[in-house]
Structure 1
Amino acid sequence: MTRFATFLGALAALWLVATQGVAQEYRVQPGDTLRVEVVEDQSLNRTLLVSPDGRISLPGAGALRVNGLTIEQIQRALAERLAPGFVNPPNVFVDILSLAPEDEDPVTTIFVVGEANTVGRIELEPGTTLLQAFAEFGGFTNFAATKRIQLRRGSEIYTIDYNKILDGSSRNGSVRMHEGDVIIIPQRKLFE
């Protein structure tokens, strides 16, 4: 029985060394979930999702672009950013909790509200432009205020004039759609 326990212990040690080697070489990408631990201040410990733009955010360290970095590089960068808030440089440990899911058929999901022929969630191919998105949801109803269309991207709001896109005086139709964009088509007023 002692040989079997020794064998299992050796096997576990080999697995640990092999997985740590892989984890050290792995380059973080958007969608990965990381666990950050700061030994000197446990209130900073948290689970972080790498955002679509490749960043994580930690109090005291701010937003940090981690896309393409190894775990060791992320640990060093976080320790450097947190250092001014500590007497001695903090000990920061980062682990990968889960990898980004692999999309076999990537899509960009947008949402359409208001006077469109199709409202709700719309799935587009990546790289789809605003003008192509208009075509994808079937255009506008007869009551659409096409001069006051809103494109909402996060906290930013852009006003789009469809008529200017059509006559070529606006290049807004070539704007590429992003995941989570919301297109709002208001109802026109009486003499609009």
Structure 2
Amino acid sequence: MKSNNNRLRACVAAMSAAAALAAALPLQAQTANAPIPASSTPEYRLGAGDVVRITVYQNPDLTLETRVSETGVVSYPLIGQVRLGGQSISAAERAIADGLRNGNFVKQPQVTIAVLQVRGNQANVLGQVNRPGRYPLEVAEMRLTDLLAMAGGTAVSGGDVIIVTGSRNGRPFRAEVDVPTIFSANSNTEDILIQNGDVIWVERQPTVYIYGEVQRPGPMRLERGMTLMQALATGGGLTQRGTEKGIRVHRRSVDGKTEIITPTMDDRMKDGDVIYVRESLF
């Protein structure tokens, strides 16, 4: 009997020591094997004009293809008007299921909604893109670069600056995005989240014009930081009769007047500059 009591005391002491050790462990160690909740991904929200197919498991007579009205509602059999506009797909499925269940039409309805055509959430892409037009926002988190890809990308005549206008939280919204900086290593530029009704405008590329005694006169794309020497090189360089001493740049000032500048080879060119290379007198 005495030995059994000793064993019992030893077991109690061991359990107490294990509990104390567990309490002393850091919280991270205790929860290391705990399941990690899945991150919630925003769902597409139905909008006016969207065409949807609603099905109820094992109830084919309740299958319906319909369009969300301008007021955001659909007319569904047995339960009548249901507001789906502005709701996520899962919330819209629950709304119909609740209507069927509360009306005692289906005991345990399993509702599925498939979006056949996106018409309620759209954005316009205009300016210097290959396929300008109105595009549906088919996913909940469509970014500026996604929409540009749908529009075929920036055209040859398109610049790097894109203007996004719309509304956020009931207030007018406008942002200028320098697209190449989105992909640079140390960029702070955000790939803007596009919302319903946004307008994306792709600016024309900045251009300089060169004429006179150069090999290839005409307009050319103004690259970032382009100097006069680089512009001349892009134009094929001077002809045999051209001279660097006779180069003039016609530049429009802020007040709209044109001024004539005698630049150096390292001077940077600006959008709209007209470079004129004169003929050598000797």
TM-score, length of structure 2 as denominator length: 0.30
Greater strand fraction, Structure 1 or Structure 2 = 2
| Larger of the two Rg values belongs to structure | 2
Quick one: higher RCO (CA 8 Å, sep 6+), 1 or 2?
Answer: 1
Greater helix fraction, Structure 1 or Structure 2 = 1
TM-score, length of structure 1 as denominator length: 0.42
